[in-house]
Amino acid sequence: MSNTNSICILGAGSWGTAIAVLLAKKGYQVKLWSAVPDEIKMLRENREHKFRLPGVILPSNIEIVDDLEKACKDNLLIVFAVASPFIRQTAKNACPYIKEGTILVNVSKGIEDKTFLTLSQIIEEEIPQAKSCVLSGPSHAEEVSRSIPTVVVAGAKDKEDAVLIQDVFMADNFRVYTSPDVMGIELGGAIKNVIALAAGVIDGLGFGDNTKAALITRGILEISRLGEAMGTRAQTFYGLSGIGDLIVTCTSNHSRNHNAGYFIGQGHSVDEALKMVGQVVEGVNCAKAAKNLADKYNVNMPIVEQINKVLFEGVSPTDGLNALFTRAKNTEYMFTDWD
């Protein structure tokens, strides 16, 4: 029988640690797992993630765990907070220790570069006996860990699972809505990172608010076009995991995607920019997948196309922006009817 007061979090980076703090403050017994020995040592000795969340002290009811079997057994639910490139291997390794019907909550964002699967789809593929769900929205770890008011959405195929996640995570400063559109939530959360790279490039080039507002507006249209072509719900992209997450990621200094784009806009190479950020930049990992999905579903995504050219084809940021502004003139929406 599952321990109704124990929650496992796989991944002890900034987001996993912030969620651990959130849930520990609600009184849950939290098992925070990491595959990185130095990270385990630091968290155990200092009770603080000195590199990612300095000043945020871990409550005593957070146990730092390096044994995956111990972490995964006997929990109310399991949270996947590892970076997207490591989701599949982590899920594969965890599978033998996860029992039938366990609720798995993915809080990471990305699309697998070879399969073009969302992260929940990967988890479902690797752990078919469990229930793969998602929690997403405009939620920087730096702010959640300090109880700054935040609103997100929980997505699940079954309503009762979404409501359970809502009940577990809901706090005075952390509001949770529910939705059945798991894929839509994940597409919004993943592809907004690609648009955020472009927003950072705009800032790095020294352009202004007008330019960024245009990018955000047209960016959410591109994401929603792809989502609709893939069978998701259009309104999802005008909610928390769509426009909400896009706004925060395109405008915040906490955003590693925006920061990487900023360095590229200033003239640094992609490799230099990634080293300067010093963390996984999900938008770079996701850009090719987003372009391939656009091609597969015959969806026009010019911002995604140009950021791919800047990242991988040697096109300068200025030329990429010019290509967007000099495209053939058009109406704003396809449904325009002058009659």
pLDDT in tens, 142-187: 999 999 999 999 999 999 999 999 999 999 999 999 999 999 999 9
164 and 128 within one domain = yes
The mean per-residue pLDDT over the stretch 118-136 comes to 98
Q: pLDDT tens digits, residue range 234-252?
A: 999 999 999 999 999 999 9
Which residues lie below 8 Å from residue 227, measured CB to CB, with a gap of 6+? 183, 184, 187, 188, 233, 234, 236, 237
What is the per-residue pLDDT for 124? 98
210 and 319 within one domain = yes
Expressed as residue numbers, the domain containing 206 is 183-325
Instruction: Say if residue 333's pLDDT is above 90.
Output: no
How many angstroms separate the CA atoms of 94 and 75, rounded?
Answer: 13
23 and 162 within one domain = yes
223 and 251 within one domain = yes
Q: Is residue 193 part of a domain?
A: yes
What is the per-residue pLDDT for 339? 59
Percentage, residues of the chain above pLDDT 90: 94
312 and 187 within one domain = yes
CATH number of the domain bearing residue 132: 3.40.50.720
236 and 123 within one domain = no
- Using the 3D structure, point to which of 132, 149, 180 is the last residue of a domain: 180
211 and 106 within one domain = no
- Using the 3D structure, point to which of 133, 157, 180 is the last residue of a domain: 180
SS3 content of the chain, % helix, strand, coil (to 5): 55, 15, 35
What is the per-residue pLDDT for 336? 64
- Using the 3D structure, point to which of 145, 180, 215 is the last residue of a domain: 180
161 and 24 within one domain = yes
What is the per-residue pLDDT for 27? 98
Q: Is residue 339 part of a domain?
A: no
> What is the model's pTM?
0.95
Percentage, residues of the chain above pLDDT 70: 99
What is the per-residue pLDDT for 310? 98
The mean per-residue pLDDT over the stretch 69-89 comes to 97
What is the per-residue pLDDT for 241? 97
Q: Is residue 150 part of a domain?
A: yes
The two tokens of residue 50 are: 């000195």
Q: Is residue 330 part of a domain?
A: no
Q: Is residue 1 part of a domain?
A: no
Instruction: Say if residue 5's pLDDT is above 70.
Output: yes
38 and 94 within one domain = yes
CATH number of the domain bearing residue 261: 1.10.1040.10
208 and 150 within one domain = no
Which residues lie below 8 Å from residue 81, measured CB to CB, with a gap of 6+? 9, 10, 11, 12, 13, 15, 16, 19, 107, 108
The mean per-residue pLDDT over the stretch 192-212 comes to 97
Strand ranges in the chain using DSSP code E only, listed in sequence order: 6-10, 29-33, 62-65, 77-80, 103-106, 131-136, 150-155, 174-179
Under DSSP, the state recorded for 50 is T
197 and 135 within one domain = no
Q: Is residue 21 part of a domain?
A: yes
Q: How far is CA 152 from CA 189, 241, 324, in A?
A: 11, 7, 32
Q: How far is CA 292 from CA 86, 90, 116, 276, 286, in A?
A: 21, 25, 8, 28, 10
Q: pLDDT tens digits, residue range 102-117?
A: 999 999 999 998 999 9
The mean per-residue pLDDT over the stretch 309-320 comes to 97
Q: pLDDT tens digits, residue range 24-44?
A: 999 999 999 999 999 999 999
60 and 146 within one domain = yes
Work out how many domains the chain is built from and give that number. 2
What is the per-residue pLDDT for 62? 98
Q: Is residue 334 part of a domain?
A: no
What is the per-residue pLDDT for 2? 72
Q: Is residue 266 part of a domain?
A: yes
Catalytic residue set: 192
Could you tell me which residue, 330 or 133, shows the higher pLDDT?
133
Confidence of residue 125 (pLDDT cuts 50, 70, 90): very high
Q: What is the mean pLDDT of the chain?
A: 96
Could you tell me how many helices (H) and strands (E) the chain has, helices first?
A: 15, 8
- Beta partners for residue 154, in sequence order: 135, 178
